[in-house]
Amino acid sequence: MEELSLKIKQKRGGMGIRAAAKEIGISPATLSRVETGKQPDMSSFRLICKWLNIDPGLALGMQTAAGVPQDLNAGTPLLAHFRASKTMSADTAQNLATLILTVQEATKRGV
């Protein structure tokens, strides 16, 4: 989540936190928490990734099987839930990222 935080800060630049949060579609408090390294809920994570124009899997340190980012505009919902604790182990984060990508692929295939 540290890299996500840095990407948000870079894109936000001199834009106020309230203006950026409104543009993203989340609360200023949520944006502030994510910028300090806390994990967002799944809905906020999806909106932030869309705003940053980055693949959620890549934001979690994953690549797709083909090494190509997923299409963010495909409309496939991510079906997972993040814990509020920012102390998630690397193994847990890796497993969660794998789960998200697997669900995305299964949904595309209509499984």
CA-to-CA distance for 12 and 80, rounded, in angstroms?
Answer: 26
Would you place residue 63 in the very low, low, confident or very high pLDDT band (cuts 50, 70, 90)?
low
Q: Smallest Cα–Cα separation from 71: which of 83, 90, 54, 59?
A: 54
How many other CB atoms are there within 10 angstroms of residue 56's CB atom? Answer: 23
For 86, the domain range is 2-109
Q: Which residue has the higher pLDDT, 71 or 103?
A: 103
For position 48, which CATH number holds? 1.10.260
How high is the mean pLDDT of the chain?
Answer: 78
pTM of the model: 0.58
Tally the domains of the chain: 1
